[in-house]
């Protein structure tokens, strides 16, 4: 079917304004509902009056909403930007309707971005991948008697539980068990063939101590729950060898001893394929990665984008009776994955001078991104040139005081309460580094993208300071 053609930027821009208004208004409604005591509600037997059709409550943001004046905005932000709690601050505010920079402070200076790096990763994913893209993990019969061969395809979100836990919509390990058992054969060993990832498995700037700390694990193309030891805990310690751990767990469910499980670095001879299990859809995974800032998922996502560009993700994993990805043309490295992100940004007209990426999650202190690049990425998703799939990036951003990594921020007594429900933003935190980049609608109905980056101070102090600046944008008439 031919792709839908959107006629005119003004139509798409109005649609985008409606989407932004809807997600923000819904956030407020949900927050209010959660805060309401429901004990006074009518008992089940109470006769309730008939409710008529509701009146429309949501409308597009006005296209002619006043633009904050640069001088007024600068005067308002200056005291907060000079507060020692935010340390050495850089930042920028962009008007989404026009792309005009309304406020900037050293916006071109590159900094350690921490997890706000994921904005670039998500942009690349939404730019090159279909929203419903999935990654297959294939099972095959090995040539050796009783051998089950697993051919990884880049899916790190398989759920260990019988229902998807951390990643909604994910495939489950029981799916693999059922597929293997559907053959009626008894398997006594498992061999994991080489997957589509090229080494090294640790990015420059990563620390192995962060594996038991729950922040990352080795970049491998098949995992359970992104390598979590406890899939119900967001910050659970990660497996040191997550692909091996997944194979061992599959083996245990098929009554195969750990001694019968191995990872192969060379092609594995197979008789034929049994079938494949697909991951959850890209859009669902990306939404989760942004909301909860999952590092392992983010690094897998940018590998997926690079694999899709080269056609690796859906290539036949068996060739001439051998399973696995072993040559360089069928594998993607961390460097190739990060290079793909930079290529996407360049193709979209973003000035990436000085931008360097050692990973796609932001765990590396080798990354360098400017506040202006972060805000431009958000503007690409929120501005008049964005298509519906690009706008999906905004849907994954945490809501101030409402979800994800912003759930406990912008709350009562924070000094940033006015931003609650009106700001959607990606956070970033490493030792001595804090960032906040997102979108906000002013009280006059103007949509803005912003990015704030702090260095040289305790993140516990910097975060509230960044929140107060963002909340100020919500309050701003600034005329």
Q: Which residues are part of the catalytic machinery?
A: 115, 118, 293
| Cβ count near 451 (within 10 Å) | 31
Strands 136-142 and 147-151: antiparallel
Q: Cα(295)–Cα(299) distance, rounded to whole angstroms?
A: 6
| Exposed/middle/buried for residue 423 (C-beta within 10 Å: 0-12, 13-18, 19+) | buried
- Residues contacting residue 19 through CB under 8 Å, at least 6 positions apart: 391, 394, 395
Residue 303 structure tokens:
């590998």
Q: How far apart are CA 449 and CA 7, in angstroms?
A: 25
Q: What is the 3-state secondary structure (H, E, C) of 436-477?
A: EEEEEECCCCCEEEEEEEEECCCHHHHHHHHHHHHHHHHHCC
Q: Could you tell me which of 86, 96, 190 has the C-alpha nearest to residue 137? A: 190
Helix (H, G, I), strand (E, B) or coil at 136: strand
Q: How far is CA 266 from the centre of its chain?
A: 32
CA gap 463, 432 in Å, rounded: 11
DSSP symbol at 162:
S
Closest Cα to residue 120, out of 307, 319, 367, 365? Answer: 367
With beta carbons less than 8 A apart as the criterion, state whether 231 and 255 touch. no
Structure tokens at 372: 């202006």
**C-beta of residue 386 within 8 angstroms of C-beta of residue 411:** no
Residue 101, phi then psi, degrees to nearest 5: -80, 120
And the tokens for 104? 């900037």
421: DSSP letter: T
Tokens read off for 157 = 């979100």
β-partners of residue 110 are 370
Identify any residues that bridge with 263 across adjacent strands, giving them in sequence order: 192
Give the DSSP letter of residue 159.
Answer: B
For 38-127, strand residue ranges (E) read 88-95, 101-105, 110-111
């Amino acid at each position: 079917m031919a792709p839908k053609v959107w006629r005119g930027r003004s139509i798409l821009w109005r649609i985008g304004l409606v989407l932004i208004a809807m997600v923000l208004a819904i956030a407020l409604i949900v927050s209010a509902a959660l805060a309401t005591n429901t004990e006074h509600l009518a008992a089940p037997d109470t006769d309730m009056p008939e409710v008529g059709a509701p009146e429309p409550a949501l409308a597009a943001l006005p296209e002619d909403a006043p633009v904050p004046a640069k001088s007024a905005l600068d005067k308002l932000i200056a005291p907060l930007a000079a507060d020692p709690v935010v340390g050495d601050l850089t930042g920028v505010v962009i008007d989404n309707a026009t792309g005009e920079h309304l406020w900037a402070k050293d916006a071109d200076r590159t900094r350690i971005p921490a997890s706000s790096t994921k904005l670039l990763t998500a942009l690349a994913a939404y730019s090159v991948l279909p929203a419903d893209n999935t990654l297959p993990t294939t099972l095959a019969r090995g040539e050796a008697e009783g051998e089950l061969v697993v051919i990884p395809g880049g899916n790190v979100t398989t759920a260990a539980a019988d229902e998807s836990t951390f990643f909604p919509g994910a495939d489950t390990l029981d799916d693999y068990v059922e597929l293997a058992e559907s053959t009626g054969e008894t398997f006594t060993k498992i061999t994991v063939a080489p997957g589509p990832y090229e080494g090294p498995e640790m990015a420059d700037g990563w620390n192995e101590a962060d594996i038991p700390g729950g922040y990352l694990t080795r970049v491998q193309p098949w995992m359970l729950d992104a390598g979590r030891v406890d899939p119900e805990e967001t910050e659970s310690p990660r497996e040191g060898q997550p692909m091996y751990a997944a194979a061992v767990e599959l083996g245990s469910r098929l009554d195969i001893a750990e001694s019968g499980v191995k990872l192969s670095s060379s092609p594995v001879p197979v008789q034929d394929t049994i079938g494949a299990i697909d991951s959850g859809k890209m859009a669902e995974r990306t939404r989760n990665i942004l909301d909860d800032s999952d590092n392992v998922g983010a690094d897998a996502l940018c590998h997926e984008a690079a694999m899709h560009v080269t056609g690796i993700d859906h290539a036949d994993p068996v060739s001439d009776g051998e399973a696995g990805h072993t040559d360089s043309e069928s594998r993607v490295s961390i460097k190739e994955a990060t290079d793909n992100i930079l290529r996407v940004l360049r193709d979209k007209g973003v000035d990436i001078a000085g931008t360097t990426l050692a990973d796609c999650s932001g765990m590396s202190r080798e990354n360098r991104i400017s506040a202006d690049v972060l805000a431009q990425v958000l503007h690409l998703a929120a501005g008049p040139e964005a298509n519906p799939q690009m706008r999906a990036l905004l849907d994954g951003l945490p809501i101030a005081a409402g979800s994800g990594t912003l759930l406990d921020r912008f709350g009562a007594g924070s000094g940033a309460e006015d931003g609650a429900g009106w700001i959607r933003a990606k956070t970033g935190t490493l030792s001595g580094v804090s960032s906040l980049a997102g979108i906000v609608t002013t009280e006059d109905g103007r949509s803005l993208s912003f990015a704030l980056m702090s260095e040289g101070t305790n993140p516990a102090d910097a975060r509230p300071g960044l929140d107060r600046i963002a909340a100020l944008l919500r309050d701003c008439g600034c005329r």
